[in-house]
Every structure is written in structure tokens, then in C-alpha cells.
Amino acid sequence: MDYAMQKLLCGPMQLRDNPAGTLACLSVRFALEFNTGVSARDVSYEQVERHMRLCIAAPSGLEDMITIAGSEPLLAEAAYHIMRDTRRHAVCHLADHSDLSCIDRGRRGELVAALLIMQTYDAARVISDTRWISVANFMEALLPTPNYETLLQSGPTSWPIGDGIRKYDGTFKAIFKDYGMWFNHVIKIERKEMISIDHLWKFVTRGAMILCATNHDGIDIVLPVYRISQNLGPDSVTAIVIQVKNEPELIDPSLFDVMDHVVKSAIFSTHNVDSISDSDFESVATEIPEPEMVHPKPVIRLVFALASPEPAIIFRERPEVKLHSDGLTTFDIWLAGLSCDTFEQIQDEADLQSYETLLERSLVPHDGFKLKGRPTMGKKVRKAKGSSRRRMAPLALPRDSHHGIHLQRVVN
């Protein structure tokens, strides 16, 4: 582990005046991608040269390179220990980083959600005092205590009818008492077919949470969950699925229904992506035993309405009539607002400010309006330059500078 920490930081094992080392820790845990542009390119090149980022392709002449943050559980664990010792959470490191403008923050709020989920998982590790955690540990670290206690005694939002199941008397505590989780970094998938029963268990072996492809409908993040009393495999894995909203919205229960087809695909169907030919590997057919029918796999469905102006935690009520014979055993929870009243881990004012900063900056594709200019530039000049830039993008944002020309015409 010490060696991994040294390689990741390219030097001493502490983060002291080492922005590149900080970025390396963030990259390996959150699969950060870099924007196009000379400055971002230079940053990514330094990460490849000194901080274990991977170059997967380079054209003749090395004018450009394609780089990625590899899925390396050992390096991610090293990054966890390095950043834990700073006594600052990852969100603060990223929001304050000098190279934030070089990083693709996503447009759905997914990076903010990933940071929040990882902070929750890290806190749950402390609760359980083990690297893997129970689902109950995770939800305890995610929700404020009164809401968590309510969840423990809650029944599922929905469950299937059929095969002798007419009612479901179990509580969250009883249903998930045998389920665990393990991840310390993010893998961003490129194809939605990877969300299937064939592959979810593989993400557990790598210790990874799943960031869905940009155009994936219905869900944005998947946290694989496994039954600890069974051998790890397709039959023992279910999931926590999360949809992230980064715009103010009223509560919309239909968002949970949109997840239905994705969840059924993830838990009950196969896609056989392994059959796709690859020049480096041969696909080996394995016989998967028939699953033991104990009870329907339970699924937790969460909506993170991060930009909601009002904090709220809402447990979706059980439907009175609509019970599908091919339905799901689900717990549906709506979490609104970046607030300590919604998320247990947002107790520190610095954390809250950092999450809000990143959420705001995820809504725009560039940082042109945030540039500070030269250090010697006076405050008045800096403000004037910012206003000039905003006037070049009329009506793009609600700030007055974007509306100046129209306000002037109204006055005239």
C-alpha cells in the first residue's frame, strides 16, 4: 500500500502542496475525464507521466493522446487512505482545485452525486470498521438518523404477486439484513448493455460503483449489492439504482416508473456482452446454475433532486391497486436538496459550499464567465471583464449582464 501511495503521488505519501497528486487521487477514485484544450491536455499528460493515468492510444507524432483513469482497486484504496489523512473530503479538494476548469464535470450532476455517494460509503466504512459494508450501514450514513430509523421499519413500496406471494410483511431491516456492498472507485460504462445480471457481479469483484453512459435513460448511477450468504455471481447480486436531477423540480413519482425497465434488465435479464469478439481474449462459455427461488430480489431506487430549493426526504407510499405479477420488490426514496436535512454527510459548511459550487458549474459547459484574470488585475477591472464576457452570451443565464442589452432598450 505504501508503494501504491508513492506511485500515485510520485513522491512522499502525504498531500502537501501537491495539486497534481491531489488530482491523481481524485482521478483514480472518480474516473475523471479532461476537457479538450491545450491546458487540459497538458494536465492529462502530466498525470500520465507522473501519476499513473493510462494512455490507451497515441497517434504518430504524439500530437494528441487518449487517456483514461484506469480501474485500479489498489490505487483507489491508496487514494482513499491519502485523502482520509488530509481530514478534508474529496468534494472540497475538487471544488478548490486549480485545474477544475480542465475537468469534465458532466451535465447531469452525476459527478456531484458520485462524490456524495463515495463520501457516504467512506463514512459507512468507519461505522462498520471493515472495507465492505452492509446495505444498512450505507443507508445509515446516507440519511439523517430519524429518516434512517423510519426506513428500517418500512415495508417495500411495491412487490410482485404470484408464485404464492400475496403480501409482503418484511421490513427494510429484515429484507436487506443479508446484503452487502463494496466499492472504492467509479467505472464509467460506455454501453447500457453492461447493466445486466451477467455483469453486475463483476463490478463487485473490482470494487467499483457504476456511472452510466451519458445517454442512458432512466438511471445515472448503479451501486451493485450482493447477498453475503451466497457465492458471488449473477444470482446473488441486486442493486441500488439512482437517477440524478440537477434542476429544480417538483416531486415526480413517474421518475421511479421510468426505472422499471432498467431495473428488470439489470436484475432479471442477460445481454451476453461476453460473446462480442475481442482480439485479445477468447470468450469461454460457462454454465450458470438455475437461481434458487427464495424471494424476489429487492431493489432500492433513489432520486437525487440535488438542485431542489427545499430539502425533503420522501418515502414513496405503497400503491393501493397497482401490483404487477411481473413487478419488483422496491424501496423508492426521493431525496431533494443539498442539505444536512437530506444527506447525513453534508454537515460541514465547507462541504455544502463545495457541493453547491460543483453543481452550479455542472450546468455550464465552460468556465469562461468564471475566469479571474491576472493576479495584478484590480477588482473593478475584473468585474468589468466578467460583465463584458456575459454580454457576449445574451439570455444564456439569468445574471443581469446577460440581459443588459434588452434592459437598456426597455429604458430607452
Grid coordinates of 145: 438518523
Partner residues linked to 210 by β-bridges = 187, 222
* pLDDT band at residue 407 under the 50/70/90 scheme: low
DSSP string, 326-370: T--EEEEEEEESSSTTT-TTTTSHHHHHHHHHHHHHHTSS--GGG
The average pLDDT across 357-369 equals 76
The average pLDDT across 277-302 equals 56
Closest CA to 94 of 356, 320, 306: 356
Check residue 349 and give its pLDDT. 94
pLDDT at 13 over 70: yes
The average pLDDT across 23-45 equals 92
Cα 71 to Cα 285: distance, rounded to the nearest angstrom: 25
Digit-coded pLDDT (tens) for 123-155 = 999 988 999 999 999 999 999 999 999 999 999
Q: Which residues of 176-190 are buried (b: 16+ CB within 10 A; e: fewer)?
A: beebbbbbbbbbbbe
Partner residues linked to 304 by β-bridges = 244, 335
- DSSP H helical segments within 51-134, as ranges? 73-84, 90-95, 110-128
Cα 351 to Cα 338: distance, rounded to the nearest angstrom: 10
Strands 179-181 and 133-134: antiparallel
Check residue 3 and give its pLDDT. 95
Cα 305 to Cα 309: distance, rounded to the nearest angstrom: 9
Check residue 286 and give its pLDDT. 44
Cα 299 to Cα 65: distance, rounded to the nearest angstrom: 40
* pLDDT band at residue 230 under the 50/70/90 scheme: very high
Grid coordinates of 61: 507524432
Digit-coded pLDDT (tens) for 44-78 = 999 999 999 999 988 777 677 889 999 999 999 99
Grid coordinates of 55: 494512455
The average pLDDT across 106-133 equals 94
- DSSP H helical segments within 166-321, as ranges? 172-175, 200-206, 254-258, 260-268
Cα 208 to Cα 73: distance, rounded to the nearest angstrom: 8
Query: Could you say which DSSP state residue 230 is in?
Result: S
Check residue 22 and give its pLDDT. 96
Mean pLDDT (the chain, rounded) = 84
Predicted TM-score of the model (pTM): 0.84
**Distance linking the first and last C-alpha atoms of the chain:** 68
pLDDT at 303 over 70: yes
Our CA angle for 70, 76, 79, nearest 5°, is 125
pLDDT at 288 over 50: no
Check residue 185 and give its pLDDT. 97
Digit-coded pLDDT (tens) for 77-104 = 999 999 999 999 999 999 999 999 899 8
What Rg do the C-alpha atoms of the chain give, in angstroms? 23
As a whole-number percent, the residues of the chain with pLDDT over 70 amount to 81
Check residue 137 and give its pLDDT. 96
Grid coordinates of 78: 491508496
Measured from the Cβ of residue 154, the count of other Cβ atoms closer than 10 Å reads 16
pLDDT at 241 over 60: yes
Domain ranges of the chain: 2-87, 110-278+291-336, 376-411
Query: Could you say which DSSP state residue 375 is in?
Result: T
* pLDDT band at residue 258 under the 50/70/90 scheme: confident
The average pLDDT across 386-397 equals 75
pLDDT at 34 over 70: yes
* pLDDT band at residue 291 under the 50/70/90 scheme: very low
